[in-house]
């Protein structure tokens, strides 16, 4: 029961965060009725979400001006984000930041697969090792299983030699 509640809470929090970042683009009525201050705050929030280190996929001020023009230029029959993206494709190059923002909006997975995968892996590990393992080791194995792609990149021989190398012994795996 705790697992189900935690999963639902995690999903709800992630969907709320998604709404905070992309809600103004997803709901065209919000976009049409947003004040300039609200629209600029939303554009800045999106820019921050799409920034990694010093690289950003969009410029908040440019997106702000593009969306102000775009909301007036959109045909009345455009009601959904996919239709906005189709319109942006037709006017190729006119709204580069809006194009990127709508592409990201429409390619983010709606499900929370990582949480589901975590619970699935933990259940498999627990059922196999439940009787003979401490909770700490079980948690460590769950993390290793979930992050298996990262674990595959680890050089275990070097790690073991760094760990035991201080005593002067070498280990060959």
Mean pLDDT computed over 165-172: 60
The residues, ordered by sequence, that sit 6+ positions from 128 with a Cβ below 8 Å of its Cβ are none
Query: Model pTM?
Result: 0.58
Residue 164 has pLDDT above 80, yes or no: no
Give the torsion sign (CA, 62, 63, 67, 70): positive
Percent of the chain's residues with pLDDT above 70: 78
Whether the CB-CB separation of 115 and 80 falls below 8 Å is answered with: no
pLDDT at position 154 over 80: yes
Cβ neighbour number for residue 140 with a 10 Å cutoff: 12
102, 78 Cβ separation under 8 angstroms: no
Tell me the pLDDT tens digit for each residue of 77-108: 988 889 999 999 898 888 999 999 988 888 87
In this predicted model, which residue has the larger pLDDT, 93 or 142?
93
Other beta carbons less than 10 A from residue 148's beta carbon = 10
pLDDT band of residue 8 (cuts 50, 70, 90) is confident
3-state secondary structure 21-46: HHHHHHCHHHHHHCCHHHHHHHHHHH
Query: Which residues 6+ apart lie within 8 Å of 125 measured at CB?
Result: 138, 141, 142, 145
Backbone angles phi, psi at 80, to 5 degrees: -120, 155
């Amino acid at each position: 029961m705790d697992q189900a509640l935690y999963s639902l809470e995690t999903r709800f929090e992630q969907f709320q965060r998604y709404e905070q970042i992309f809600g103004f683009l997803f709901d065209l009525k919000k976009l049409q009725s947003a004040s300039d201050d609200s629209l600029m705050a939303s554009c800045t929030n999106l820019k921050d979400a799409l920034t990694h280190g010093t690289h950003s996929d969009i410029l908040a001020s440019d997106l702000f001006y593009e969306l102000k023009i775009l909301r007036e230029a959109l045909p009345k029959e455009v009601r959904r984000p996919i239709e906005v993206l189709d319109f942006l494709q037709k006017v190729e190059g006119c709204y580069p930041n809006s194009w990127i923002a709508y592409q990201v909006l429409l390619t983010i997975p709606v499900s929370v697969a990582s949480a589901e995968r975590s619970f699935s892996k933990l259940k498999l590990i627990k059922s196999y090792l439940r009787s003979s393992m401490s909770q700490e080791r079980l948690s460590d194995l769950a993390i290793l299983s979930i992050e298996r792609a990262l674990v595959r990149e680890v050089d275990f021989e070097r790690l073991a030699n760094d760990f035991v190398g201080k005593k002067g012994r070498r280990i060959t795996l």
